[in-house]
Chains A and B, each alone.
Chain A
């Protein structure tokens, strides 16, 4: 494996791992929030800016 291929592979895998883990954490928060009805409460009360989901 050449140096450039190694670097591209290493950076690529790292970004994939971090992005996948980030999406998993965010989606898990959303799913559990919906199970608890927190997301529904948020929709019913859009005037408040805080919620329990894990959006950015």
Chain B
């Protein structure tokens, strides 16, 4: 590893990310207070409505993360032959966003299943929304698996970028599945251009929860991005050491 890359590696952590981490913890604590104690129970769903403040922000964050993955993948494919770093920055951004998106899709599925047991009487139903969501989870898990396959880093990144774009096709299908098909799942609680399904304290608690989860997800993405960068540096160092060792052996045998 060159002194330049080490120098860059040392510049990855800033006091700003520490502030963001503390802010994420404080925001999450306030979210729990608002969601569990301040916000009222629903007339129909009772206490179970408190799952809303986890379930809905989680899938919104997952959508956002997958949008970021797709945009970064496009930028990577465009920049890979032109930029000095071969677009590695965009590839790392895509990988970190996808992983955070998968975590929040998983949370969406788990909270949805628990919520469904109380309101629908079953944990799972193969209806359009649930089926497309589990498909979304599995395809992005596949994307993450593809990123770990042993191959030339640039080739692997190109394949992953193409898969990210293919996987993204399912995101709008998941979102509009409740409008396009008859499903057990209710319509969107909040939607652009449509009157909100909830109002008052529930509405504001949901918006605040989305903000809090966004802060947490941002902190996670920044740190995951750094870890991917460190993994690349480690792999480059290992490769350099292997080549150096091979050259020494060749010199010794000649």
Instruction: Give B204-249 interface residues, CB cut-off 8 Å to A.
Output: 216, 219-220, 223-224, 226-227, 230-231, 233-234, 237
Contact A6 B18 (CB under 8 A): no
Number of chain A residues whose Cβ lies closer than 8 Å to a Cβ of chain B: 35
- Known A26-B223, A54-B226; contact A17-B13, beta-carbon cutoff 8 A: no
Contact A36 B17 (CB under 8 A): no
Closest residue on chain B to residue A51 by CB atoms: B13
- Known A6-B118, A48-B10; contact A55-B18, beta-carbon cutoff 8 A: yes
Binds A, one of B68-76, B82-90, B106-114, B145-153: B106-114
Instruction: Give A18-54 interface residues, CB cut-off 8 Å to B.
Output: 18, 21-22, 25-26, 28-29, 32-33, 35-36, 38, 41-42, 48-54
Contact B48 A14 (CB under 8 A): no
Binding site for A on B (CB under 8 A): 1, 6, 9-15, 17-18, 21-22, 28, 32, 35-36, 45-48, 50-51, 54-55, 58, 103, 106-107, 110-111, 114-115, 117-118, 216, 219-220, 223-224, 226-227, 230-231, 233-234, 237
Binding site for B on A (CB under 8 A): 1, 3-4, 6-7, 9-11, 13-15, 17-18, 21-22, 25-26, 28-29, 32-33, 35-36, 38, 41-42, 48-56
